[in-house]
Each structure stands twice: as C-alpha cells, then as structure tokens.
Amino acid sequence: MIIVLKTGTAEPEIQQVVDAVKTFGYEPRLIRGVERTVIACVGDERNHHTLESLIVLPQVETVTPVQKKYKLVSREYQPQDTVLDVNGCKIGGGTFQVVAGPCSVETKAQTLETARAVKASGATLFRGGAFKPRTSPYDFQGLGREGLELLRQAREETGLPIVTEVMSPQDVDMVAEAADILQIGARNAQNVPLLAAAAKSGKVILLKRGLSSFIDEWLLAAEYICVHGNSKVILCERGIRTFEHACRNTLDVGAVAVAKKETHLPVFVDPSHAAGRADMVIPLARAAVAAGADGLLVEVHPNPATALSDGGQQLTPKQFAQLMAEIRPLVGVMGKKLQSA
C-alpha cells in the first residue's frame, strides 16, 4: 500500500499514520518530498488488515494498493497453463473445446436430439440448464431434478460430459451427481456461499463473468473457488452490460486477452448470451477464437422458435455445424487443437 499524506502535514500527524501502519502489521517506509510525505507500507496485503480504512484520517490524501488481490489464479503463482481433464476431455493448454446444447432442458426428445446433433458436428461437451436463473418469476424455471435425469440420459447415449448450472448451495450435491462440470451463472458470479459449496464438490467449475463484474472481481470469484480447495476452474466471458443495446450484452473480447495473460486458467467464451441473437453468434465465436479463448459455450436448439428460454439466440443444429466449420481453421491458426468427441 502507498499512503500519500496531504501537503503540509505536520510531524505529529505523520507519526500518527506511521503508528497506525505498524499496528496493522506493516513496516512503514517514509519518503519525505518537498511538499508531501509518502508512506510505503511493506507487507503482504492479502494477509494483513487492510490499510484502506486510513483514508478516514484527515491528513491522508490517498491509500493505493500496489498488490493484486488474487494469488492462486495468477500466472505469477503458476506460470504454465492449467490443463483440466473431464472424462478424458482435456481443457486448456493448447486444446480447444466446444460445449453446446440448449439453454434449457425441455423434453427428452429435445435433449437427446440436440445432444446427437452437436456431437455429430464436433462438440465435445453437452450443456443444458435444469435449474434456470430467469429474470422473471413468471418465465419457465427449468425442469429441476427431472432435467438432471434427462442430462444423464444424454451423457449415457452420447458419452459427452455434461455442463449444467447450479443455483444454490443446497443443490450442489444433487447437481454434482449428474454433472461433469458445474456452471455458476452470471447472476451468481459473486455468490460467495455458492462458490464455496461448488468448490467443495471437487467438480470442475465453469464460472461465468457477472453481468457487471470487473475483470478483477471475476478473477477474485475464481480465487474463492481455489481458496476452498478446488483449482479446477474454467473462466467464461459471456458479455457484460454496457450502454450498447444492439446485442443483448457486449462481448468483452479484451477480457479474454486479459484473463489469459493474468491467469493460468482456461478461458471460454459464451457468444450466445453475449449476442442474444442467433445471427451474431458465429461472428462473436470467431472473435473469441482470435482473442485466444480455449473453448466456446454455445446454445443450440432443434427448433429455437419453440424454445422455453433464450429462443432468439439459440442456433439450429445446421447453424451450429456452420459455426464449427467456420472456427475450425481459425483454431488451427491460433495454434490450438480442436478436439472432437
């Protein structure tokens, strides 16, 4: 932490700050300028009391942290890419994986038809929501337990590992029984008890970025999962809220590049929730590959016009086949290997 004192602060007031810094366990180093005094506080900011509260002292101008708050997810901590293994499906470290499937699990026929179709086009994991965090309480909330059973059947038939969302800590055990990867959705991205409970399942966690989360908040959410003993995390950028409304959200391609640089975790992109409209999903998927993503999460429905959620953004199986054909060469250009089931 760097504490800058106000111009002309007298010696007793300087000493008061120095004493406070020592009380909090830091070693203060004074830099006396012509007009101002700066106090550099030496100590690990992650395991000492925060000095940020000293801003309330009248002689303190600014208190600035110099250390990043995340550690376990950082490249400094682990320089090499994390490579996860989900039933033999390698995620990260030069591979490229595509998770595809409907927004919501609706019926057995819809689920199995989609699973077969996305597998045939090269998806390596199957997604589908059984517990849906809908904005309106009047909208379809998902099939719940019954949906998990349909996902189990899809895995049994296709062999594709399952990615599905868990919305509350008390559901973790039940969802983890059916899922190979637990998804934590954008609306729950900073739900600390859920992050902790999901971590304890020992499953790989796909962590969406919150609708309005800064990148460091997203990385700190991943840090929570690691701190709770599970470093098997996939970061997923899914578009953020901005002033622009041509698309449902704004895909933050820059966040992919930042997350790849700052962390060793695999970074996926969900172009479906970023776009909110089917005709923009393929262009955003291409951008994701070019920005260095390690995988995609794409919504596919056999008949999007009848979908019970997110109909406007789901691709038909044919459009999904087109997406796969378009990204295939780009993945190669990026030096990654597109896996196929």
**The binder of ligand PEP chosen from 119, 238, 248, 260 (CB under 6 A):** 238
**Residues 6+ away with beta carbon under 8 Å from 2:** 38, 39, 40, 41, 62, 63, 64, 66
Distance of closest approach, residue 341 Cβ to Mn ion, in angstroms:
22
Pick from 304, 295, 305: nearest CA to 334: 295
Pick out residues in 92-151 that bind Mn ion (CB under 5 A): 103
Distances in Å between the Cα of 103 and the Cα atoms of 15, 107, 278 are 60, 12, 13
Element (DSSP H or E) covering residue 330: helix 317-333
**Residues 6+ away with beta carbon under 8 Å from 24:** 48, 49, 51
**The binder of ligand PEP chosen from 122, 147, 185, 302 (CB under 6 A):** 185
Taking the C-alpha atoms of residue 271 and residue 300, their distance in angstroms, rounded to an integer, is: 12
**Residues 6+ away with beta carbon under 8 Å from 292:** 256, 257, 260, 267, 334
Distance of closest approach, residue 276 Cβ to Mn ion, in angstroms:
9
**Residues 6+ away with beta carbon under 8 Å from 126:** 99, 100, 101, 114, 115, 118, 119, 151, 154, 155, 158, 160, 161, 162, 163
**The binder of ligand PEP chosen from 186, 251, 284, 293 (CB under 6 A):** 186
Window of 70-78, 142-150, 181-189, 276-284 that interacts with ligand PEP by CB under 6 A: 181-189
Q: Which CB sits closer to ligand PEP, 80 or 136?
A: 136
Distance of closest approach, residue 256 Cβ to ligand PEP, in angstroms:
15
Q: Which CB sits closer to Mn ion, 103 or 172?
A: 103
Q: Which CB sits closer to Mn ion, 119 or 301?
A: 301
Taking the C-alpha atoms of residue 37 and residue 229, their distance in angstroms, rounded to an integer, is: 42
Distance of closest approach, residue 103 Cβ to ligand PEP, in angstroms:
5
**The binder of ligand PEP chosen from 203, 208, 260, 264 (CB under 6 A):** 208
> Which does residue 237 touch among ligand PEP, Mn ion, none (CB within 5 to 8 A, set by kind)?
none
Q: Which residue is nearest to Mn ion (CB)?
A: 103
Element (DSSP H or E) covering residue 175: helix 172-178
Pick out residues in 253-312 that bind ligand PEP (CB under 6 A): 270, 273
**The binder of Mn ion chosen from 171, 223, 252, 310 (CB under 5 A):** 310
Count of residues that bind ligand PEP according to CB under 6 A: 10
> Which does residue 229 touch among ligand PEP, Mn ion, none (CB within 5 to 8 A, set by kind)?
none
Window of 35-43, 112-120, 180-188, 317-325 that interacts with ligand PEP by CB under 6 A: 180-188
Q: Which residue is nearest to ligand PEP (CB)?
A: 185
DSSP for 227-265?
HTT---EEEEE--B--S--SSSSB--HHHHHHHHHHBSS
Taking the C-alpha atoms of residue 91 and residue 94, their distance in angstroms, rounded to an integer, is: 8
Count of residues that bind Mn ion according to CB under 5 A: 2
> Which does residue 301 touch among Mn ion, ligand PEP, none (CB within 5 to 8 A, set by kind)?
none
Burial of 136 from C-beta contacts in 10 A (0-12 / 13-18 / 19+): exposed
Q: Which CB sits closer to Mn ion, 81 or 310?
A: 310
Pair 257, 293: CB distance under 8 Å = no
**What region, left, alpha or beta, does residue 276 occupy, with left being phi > 0 and alpha being psi -120 to 50 degrees?**
left
Pick out residues in 99-118 that bind ligand PEP (CB under 6 A): 103
Distance of closest approach, residue 268 Cβ to Mn ion, in angstroms:
15
**The binder of ligand PEP chosen from 92, 129, 295, 304 (CB under 6 A):** 129
Which spans of this chain sit near Mn ion (rule: CB under 5 A)? 103, 310
Which spans of this chain sit near ligand PEP (rule: CB under 6 A)? 103, 129, 133, 185-187, 208, 238, 270, 273
